[in-house]
Amino acid sequence: MPAAPPPPTGTRERLVQAMSRAMQQRGYHGVGLAELLAAAEAPKGVLYHHFPGGKQALAVAAIEATAAHIADSLDRLVAVRADPLPALAGWLAMAQSQLERSGFERGCPLATVALETTADDGPVRAALAAAFDGIRLRLARLLQTSGVAEARAAGLAALVVAAYEGALMQARVAGSGAPMAEAADTLLSLLRTEIEHARRSPR
């Protein structure tokens, strides 16, 4: 996950960020309400005021906030670097840097929670699916700006997300950024070839 968002100000925002941080480190089922309230410096009754659905509703909000933050970080990189390859390189490097700064304790909350959800976590799974869909769509559109065909861009975007999440998990358990660096180098090389081919091909 790219660089952390600015510190929250309101109680609702503090609760969402506390849940997001907890999911990065311990997942959805590994954190209790008392711990979340303490981290957010919020009184007990305020959780249900902001989130009548309790912990599950808070998790959905945290997933949606994470997806929005990832989208924003990609948009900022694209605004600075029109070419998709430097933008993607910067995005992957930010994720690796954040993981390393956390002592390999904070992974991506989307993947962490996705691996532990069950059939009883329907709303959480739906929020995760929507988050991954949105990230893939944004990446695909970015590749299409360089001439990659729509269907091919969608497949490559899915590959980028899969490699990103898989490399992040491997780096976290290994305590080393090497898996992320290797995956990023390989992905960027593959995408460079795809973009060059698309630009040479007749429209």
CATH code of residue 169:
1.10.357.10
Q: Are 190 and 80 in contact (CB under 8 A)?
A: no
Q: Which domain holds residue 130?
A: 11-200
pTM: 0.85
| Residues 6 or more apart in contact with residue 30 via CB below 8 angstroms | 22, 116
**pLDDT at 5 exceeding the cut of 80:** no
Q: Are 19 and 62 in contact (CB under 8 A)?
A: yes
pLDDT score recorded for residue 90:
86
CA-to-CA distance for 179 and 104, rounded, in angstroms? 12
**159-177 per-position pLDDT tens digit:** 999 999 999 999 999 999 9
pLDDT score recorded for residue 17:
92
Assess if residue 70 is contained within a domain: yes
Amino acid identity of residue 84, one-letter, is P
Assess if residue 164 is contained within a domain: yes
pLDDT score recorded for residue 133:
95
Assess if residue 83 is contained within a domain: yes
Assess if residue 4 is contained within a domain: no
Of the candidates 7, 29, 149, the residue with the CA atom closest to the CA atom of residue 18: 7
Could you give the number of structural domains in the chain?
1
Of the candidates 197, 65, 63, 73, the residue with the CA atom closest to the CA atom of residue 139: 73
User: Lowest-pLDDT range, 31-45, 69-83, 134-148?
Assistant: 69-83
**pLDDT at 86 exceeding the cut of 60:** yes
Assess if residue 177 is contained within a domain: yes
CA-to-CA distance for 50 and 141, rounded, in angstroms? 35
Assess if residue 6 is contained within a domain: no
| Residues 6 or more apart in contact with residue 100 via CB below 8 angstroms | 177
Higher-confidence residue of 45 and 1: namely 45
Average pLDDT over residues 32-48: 88
pLDDT above 90 covers a percentage of the chain that reads 53
Assess if residue 96 is contained within a domain: yes
CA-to-CA distance for 117 and 183, rounded, in angstroms? 26
State the pLDDT confidence band at 8, using cuts at 50, 70 and 90.
low
**pLDDT at 42 exceeding the cut of 50:** yes
Instruction: Compute the mean pLDDT over every residue in the chain, rounded to the nearest whole number.
Output: 88
Helix ranges, the chain (H): 11-26, 33-40, 46-50, 54-80, 84-101, 109-114, 122-144, 150-174, 178-200
pLDDT score recorded for residue 65:
94
**pLDDT at 3 exceeding the cut of 70:** no
pLDDT score recorded for residue 100:
93
